[in-house]
């Protein structure tokens, strides 16, 4: 394969944040998963499992995530008393298997702040417009309108390498989808509440929800023309001690 064509293909994959309702045929989903399984894995253990949510299952999960986001968002924006009530009632509190809402380490936090700023500027959401930001955030829980959400679970008995293997699997999956004209968005947001997903699938207890990936055909919405900045390799390359 021509290496420059391969580089261009890799560079052309971008997160999709608005999807058409057009269904994705089951044989296409199967082909993407088969491609994903060609990823390398620690001792070929493949310590991950996936749950493919479509149709009513996808809709029930999304409805419940949106309900919890509405409750949590209102409490977190509200008075201290509303916050206390939220913690006492517990409805809407995160039930994630991993700490999804952990603050970013100081050295990488500016990158995260930049991507948020750049994305919202691109779609015309003003900095102080909290209502519009909330609305955009809520779209995560509707899988940005995608007809398919694939939830990735990792084996808790192999903590670090299960997550690394799942990451390789996910990248293969997203590139395979991209090669078929589909868009994807990996979403930590889809793991904030794990029990609505576990209510729909038989998840063995040693498997933890890592994240979700929304999949579908991209719409022509402006959000899909957003191009996240690519850091130069010098920013992640260690120099030898002199």
Which residue from 185, 197, 209, 215 is in contact with ligand FMN, where contact means CB under 6 A? Answer: 185
* Beta-carbon count within 10 A of 84 CB: 11
Residue range at the interface with ligand FMN (CB under 6 A); choices 20-28, 55-63, 184-192, 216-224: 184-192
In angstroms, give the least distance from the CB of 89 to ligand FMN: 25
Q: Which two tokens stand for residue 233?
A: 């390799």
Instruction: Kindly state whether residue 186 participates in binding ligand FMN, applying the rule CB under 6 A.
Output: yes
Instruction: Specify whether the CB–CB gap between 210 and 158 falls below 8 A.
Output: no
In angstroms, give the least distance from the CB of 228 to ligand FMN: 3
Which residue from 14, 122, 133, 180 is in contact with ligand FMN, where contact means CB under 6 A? Answer: 14
Instruction: Kindly state whether residue 219 participates in binding ligand FMN, applying the rule CB under 6 A.
Output: no
Instruction: Kindly state whether residue 189 participates in binding ligand FMN, applying the rule CB under 6 A.
Output: yes
In angstroms, give the least distance from the CB of 47 to ligand FMN: 17
Query: Tokens 């998963």 identify what position?
Result: 33
Instruction: Kindly state whether residue 187 participates in binding ligand FMN, applying the rule CB under 6 A.
Output: yes
Which residue from 9, 15, 33, 93 is in contact with ligand FMN, where contact means CB under 6 A? Answer: 15
Instruction: Specify whether the CB–CB gap between 149 and 212 falls below 8 A.
Output: yes
Phi then psi dihedrals of residue 232, to 5 deg: -70, 150
How far is Cα 220 from Cα 63, in angstroms, rounded to an integer? 25
Instruction: Kindly state whether residue 211 participates in binding ligand FMN, applying the rule CB under 6 A.
Output: yes
User: Which is nearer to ligand FMN, 40 or 78 (by Cβ)?
Assistant: 40
Instruction: Kindly state whether residue 140 participates in binding ligand FMN, applying the rule CB under 6 A.
Output: yes
- Exposed, middle or buried by CB within 10 Å (0-12, 13-18, 19+), for 232? exposed
Q: Which two tokens stand for residue 79?
A: 């008075």
Instruction: Specify whether the CB–CB gap between 194 and 95 falls below 8 A.
Output: yes
Instruction: Kindly state whether residue 188 participates in binding ligand FMN, applying the rule CB under 6 A.
Output: yes
Q: Which two tokens stand for residue 195?
A: 């029990």
Residues that bind ligand FMN (CB under 6 A): 14-15, 17, 115, 140, 185-189, 211, 228
């Amino acid at each position: 394969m021509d290496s420059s064509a391969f580089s261009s293909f890799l560079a052309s994959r971008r997160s999709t944040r608005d999807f058409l309702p057009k269904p994705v045929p089951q044989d296409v989903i199967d082909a993407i998963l088969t491609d994903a399984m060609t990823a390398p894995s620690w001792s070929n253990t493949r310590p991950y499992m996936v749950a493919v949510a479509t149709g009513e299952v996808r809709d029930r999960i999304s409805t419940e995530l949106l309900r919890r986001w509405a409750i949590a968002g209102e409490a977190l924006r509200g008075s201290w008393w509303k916050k206390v009530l939220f913690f006492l009632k517990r409805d809407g509190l995160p039930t994630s298997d991993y700490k999804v809402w952990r603050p970013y380490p100081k050295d990488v936090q500016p990158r995260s702040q930049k991507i948020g700023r750049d994305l919202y500027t691109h779609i015309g959401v003003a900095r102080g417009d909290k209502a519009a930001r909330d609305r955009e955030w809520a779209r995560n829980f509707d899988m940005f309108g995608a007809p398919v959400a694939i939830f990735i679970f990792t084996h808790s008995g192999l903590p670090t390498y299960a997550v690394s293997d799942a990451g390789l699997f996910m990248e293969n999956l997203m590139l395979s989808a991209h090669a078929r004209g589909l868009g994807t968005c990996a979403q930590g947001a889809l793991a904030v509440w794990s029990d609505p997903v576990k209510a729909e699938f038989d998840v063995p207890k040693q498997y933890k929800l890592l994240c979700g990936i929304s999949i579908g055909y991209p719409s022509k919405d402006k959000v899909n023309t957003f191009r996240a900045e690519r850091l130069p390799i010098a920013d992640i390359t260690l120099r030898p001690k002199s």
